[in-house]
Amino acid sequence: MATIQHICVSDRPGLKHPVENAHLITGLGIDGDWHASLDRRPVSLLAEEDLNSLTKGKWRPGTFSENIICRDLPLATLGVGTRLRLGNNSILTISQIGKHFHQPKQVERISGEYLMAHAGVFATVENGGELFPGDAIEVLKEVPRSLPQAVVITVSDRCFRGETVDTAGPAVADLLRHELQAHIQHIDLVADDKDAISEMLQRYCDQYSIDLLVTAGGTGPAPRDITPEATSAVVERPTPGFDEAMRQASLAKTPTAILSRGTSGIRGSTFIINLPGSERAAVENLQALIKALPHGIKKLRGDPADCACCSSHLAEQQKHVQAG
């Protein structure tokens, strides 16, 4: 049975101190802890087993700025969206995996809390209550970390103002669920405003532990179609193969596909892909990429294995060398 081993709090960033009990506040975090003011990560969790393994047993509760240290809870396998019951009625939802530090060596030297980037998770409070060391932890809903995590954003003035119903976004989300087995964290809306689009893309990529961010709309030649420009402003590495595949697939069905300006790329460890705004075209474009996405996501997550075609080619070469 998974249990809470330690509860730690602090009214300021950095080291925390263990307490005998704590009160979780719905929609916030632990009463009196500074993490409670953080929107996406008000409660931080570490596994006792990870602490022992990564520090060779040399740790004290609160050293890594963690709120809750768990025992026998496989945090490393739990993805965003997983729901946990702690104690009698407190419910947490995992909202972020790890944490990016801009100055990791400095933070690690001060408090060691960079360990959160490797082994920690953050959660929001769905239902509050009292917590005590020794309380049981139950997984109410498991979202495996192996599942791709995705966000779908529809870019449309009219949808954003509520003048028309968005059908492209939900259709894209359904395709990702069924064909990619993805967990859809959010389906969002934004107006055709370059700064607003760029800000939303950057926020989801940097703060939400997602593998894939797909936009629908704003890819044509009309004056308000600026999704590609907003995307290019935040992309760190372009992925032109996606763009070529989508236009080629669309051109096989309609000559006006050549007008699509949709782009794609990578920010951090997230693919960003622009799709057209119509439901049919968005689904058709995404279908052109769907078979390549699992391998791409694995690579972004750090999988060192060669792709199947490379492995086969190398094996064939080795056979020829051995035969010679």
Domain ranges of the chain: 2-141, 149-300
Average pLDDT for residues 122-144, to the nearest whole number?
95
Residue 77 is predicted with a pLDDT of 93
According to the per-residue pLDDT averaged within each range, which of 47-61, 116-130, 245-259, 260-274 is highest? 260-274
Whether residue 318 is predicted with pLDDT greater than 60 in this model: the reply is no
Please check the confidence at residue 89 and state whether its pLDDT lies above 50.
Answer: yes
**Torsion 198-202-203-209 (CA) sign:** positive
Q: Which CATH class is domain 149-300?
A: alpha beta
**β-pair type (136-141, 2-9):** antiparallel
Given a contact cutoff of 8 angstroms between Cβ atoms, the answer to whether 206 and 266 are in contact is no
Q: CA 113: distance to chain centroid?
A: 21
Residues in the chain: 324
pLDDT band at 57 (very low <50, low <70, confident <90, very high): confident
* CATH code for residues 2-141: 2.40.33.20
Instruction: Give CA–CA dist 319/324, Å, rounded.
Output: 9
CA distances to 18, 133, 140, 233, 314 from 228, rounded to whole Å, are 49, 50, 40, 9, 38
pLDDT of 100 > 90? The answer is no
SS3 call for 317: helix
- Average of per-residue pLDDT values in the chain: 89
CA gap 109, 113 in Å, rounded: 9
Q: Please give the average per-residue pLDDT across 255-276, as a whole number.
A: 95
Amino acid letter, 89: N
Does this model's pTM top 0.85? My answer is no
Residue where the block lists tokens 């239902």: 127
- Which DSSP helix (H) or strand (E) runs through 204? helix 194-207
pLDDT given for residue 324 in this prediction: 44
Q: Which pLDDT band, with edges at 50, 70 and 90, does 207 fall under?
A: confident
In the chain, DSSP assigns E strands to 2-9, 17-19, 22-24, 43-47, 68-71, 83-86, 90-97, 121-127, 129-131, 136-141, 149-155, 183-190, 212-216, 237-238, 264-267, 270-275
Q: How confident is the model at residue 110 (pLDDT cuts 50, 70, 90)?
A: very low
- Of 78, 89, 88, 209, give the one whose Cα is nearest residue 139: 78
Q: Which pLDDT band, with edges at 50, 70 and 90, does 86 fall under?
A: very high
pLDDT over threshold 50, residue 320: no
pLDDT confidence tier of residue 107, bands split at 50, 70 and 90: very low
In the prediction, which pLDDT does 314 show?
39
Look at phi and psi of residue 217 and say left if phi exceeds 0, alpha if psi is from -120 to 50, else beta. Answer: left
pLDDT at residue number 197? 98
**Chain center to CA of 278:** 26
Q: Is the per-residue pLDDT at 78 higher than 70?
A: yes
Q: How far is CA 13 from the centre of its chain?
A: 24
Q: What is the mean pLDDT of residues 99-119?
A: 54
For residue 306, the model assigns a pLDDT of: 63
What integer is the mean pLDDT of 232-261? 94
Band (pLDDT 50/70/90 cuts) for residue 308 is low
Q: Is the pLDDT at 117 greater than 60, yes or no? A: yes
Q: What angle do CA 174, 178, 183 make, to 5 degrees?
A: 75
